[in-house]
Structure 1
Amino acid sequence: ERVRSQLNLSWGIIPFILLHCDSIEELVERSVSYLKKNKIVKKKDKIVVVAGEPVGQAGNINLLELKEIK
């Protein structure tokens, strides 16, 4: 919650919280689904995914991915 609140202050960033995910793949899939459902993104938009494994453990960022919405 604290990080989400801090990110709200950054221009162009829409932070949200997902409950437990078992893998980065699930995290990305659920994130894209959330963004589409809430009409935050549309086809051909690009998003940046920042994540790490093990999922849910703070401080382990080892993935930075640019993803195009399909």
Structure 2
Amino acid sequence: DESTRNQLALSWGVESHVVPHADNTDAMVDLVDAELLKLNRYNTGDTMIITAGSPPGIPGTTNMVRVHHL
């Protein structure tokens, strides 16, 4: 959510993005890919770290860290 995004803005080297709600983590990662490519600041093959809660949408349940290649 926006509150978490604002808190992460204070962390060095972190760039956070909020994407629409997804029903599962695979759909969420697909949304992340699409949003980042729309920004034209990232390229296919770029490496990033994705943190999320699984299942999505439940505050305070961050339990996933994924090294992801766009």
TM bracket, shorter-chain basis:
0.7 to 0.9
Structure 1 counterpart SS, 2:27: helix
Identity of aligned residues (%): 29
Q: Which stretches in structure 1 are left out of the alignment for 5+ residues?
A: none
CA distance in structure 1 between the aligned counterparts of 2:56 and 2:63, rounded to whole angstroms: 11
Alpha-carbon deviation of 1:30? 0.4
CA distance in structure 2 between the aligned counterparts of 1:27 and 1:33, rounded to whole angstroms: 10
Q: Greater strand share, 1 or 2?
A: 2
Runs of 4+ in 1 over 2 A off after TM superposition: none
Equivalent in the alignment of 1:43 = 44
CA RMSD of aligned residues (A): 1.3
TM-score (norm 2): 0.83
Question: Number of matched residues?
Answer: 69
TM-score (norm 1): 0.83
Equivalent in the alignment of 1:62 = 63
CA distance in structure 2 between the aligned counterparts of 1:3 and 1:66, rounded to whole angstroms: 20
